[in-house]
Amino acid sequence: MADNEEQTGIVLTEAQQKSRRRRSIAIALALGVLVALFFAVTLVKGPAVLVRPL
Partner 1 sequence: MSVIDHNAIELPRISEADVADYVALLKPRVMSLVIFTALVGLVIAPGHFHPVLAFTSLLCIAVGAGASGALNMWYESDIDALMSRTANRPIPRGRITPPEAAAFGMTLAFFSVMTLGILVNWVAGALLAFTIFFYVVIYTMALKRWTAQNIVIGGAAGALPPVVAWAAATGSLSAEPLLLFLIIFFWTPPHFWALALFRSDDYARAGIPMLPVVAGPDTTRLQILLYTIVLVAVAVAPWPLGYFDAAYGVISLALGGGMLALAINVYRHREGREASRATRRLFAFSILYLFALFATLLIEVVVHAVGPSIW
List the x/- string, 12-51, binding to partner 1 by CB under 8 A. xx-xx--xx-xx--x-------x--xx-xx--x-------
State how far the Cα of 8 lies from the Cα of 12, in Å rounded to an integer.
12
Nearer to partner 1, 32 or 41 (CB): 41
CB of 32 to partner 1, least distance (A): 13
State how far the Cα of 29 lies from the Cα of 41, in Å rounded to an integer.
18
Total number of residues binding partner 1 (CB under 8 A)?
20
